[in-house]
A and B are shown apart, each in its own frame.
Chain A
Amino acid sequence: MVSELINANPVVYEKKERRVRSTPSCVDEYAVEPIDQLEIFDHLRDIKDPEHPYSLEELKVITEDAIEVDDSNSYVRVTFTPTVEHCSMATIIGLCLRVKLMRSLPSRYKVDIRIAPGSHATEAAVNKQLNDKERVAAALENPNLVDMVDECLAPSNGLAG
Chain B
Amino acid sequence: MESHDGAWSLKEVQKLEGHTDRVWSVAWNPAAGVAGVPAMLASCSGDKTVRVWEQNPSSSSWFCKAVLDETHTRTVRSCAWSPSGKLLATGSFDATTAIWENVGGDFECVSTLEGHENEVKSVCWNASGSLLATCGRDRSVWIWEVLPGNEFECASVLQGHTQDVKMVQWHPTMDILFSCSYDNTIKIWAEDGDDDWHCVQTLSEANGGHTSTVWALSFNTAGDKMVTCSDDLTIKVWETDSAKMMSGDGYVPWSHVCTLSGYHDRTIFSVHWSREGIIASGAADDAIRFFVESKDGSVDGPSYKMILRNEKAHDMDVNSVRWSHGENRFLASASDDGTVKIWELVPVI
For residues 118 through 161 of chain A, which have their beta carbon under 8 Å from a beta carbon of chain B? 128, 131-135, 137-138, 141
Contact bitstring B117-128, A, C-beta under 8 A = 1, else 0:
011010000000
Q: Is A3's beta carbon under 8 Å from chain B? A: no
In the bound complex, what is the Cα–Cα distance between A110 and B266 (angstroms)?
9
In the bound complex, what is the Cα–Cα distance between A128 and B292 (angstroms)?
31
- Interface size of A by CB at 8 A reads 12
A interface, CB within 8 angstroms of B: 107-108, 110, 128, 131-135, 137-138, 141
Contacts A134-B121, A138-B93, A141-B93 supplied; 16 other A-B pairs, CB < 8 Å: A107-B315, A108-B315, A110-B266, A110-B284, A110-B285, A128-B182, A128-B213, A132-B213, A132-B231, A133-B284, A134-B166, A137-B22, A137-B46, A137-B93, A138-B118, A141-B74
Q: Is B54's beta carbon under 8 Å from chain A? A: no
For residues 173 through 196 of chain B, which have their beta carbon under 8 Å from a beta carbon of chain A? 182
- Interface size of B by CB at 8 A reads 25
B interface, CB within 8 angstroms of A: 22, 46, 74-75, 77, 93, 118-119, 121, 137, 164, 166, 182, 212-213, 231, 266-267, 284-285, 315-317, 336-337
Residues from chain A with Cβ under 8 Å of B119 in the complex: 138
Residues from chain B with Cβ under 8 Å of A135 in the complex: 137, 164, 182
**Are B284 and A137 in touch, CB under 8 angstroms?**
no
Task: Count chain B CB atoms within 10 A of each CB in A110, A133, A134, A137 and give the residue with the most.
Answer: A134
Chain B residue nearest to A74 in the complex (CB)? B286
Chain B residue nearest to A112 in the complex (CB)? B266
In the bound complex, what is the Cα–Cα distance between A141 and B77 (angstroms)?
13
Given A134-B121, A138-B75, A138-B137, A107 and B284 touching (CB < 8 A)? no
Chain B residue nearest to A107 in the complex (CB)? B316
Q: Would you give 7 A-B contacts (Cβ < 8 Å), ordered by A?
A: A128-B212, A131-B231, A133-B284, A134-B77, A137-B75, A137-B93, A138-B75
**Are A107 and B337 in touch, CB under 8 angstroms?**
yes
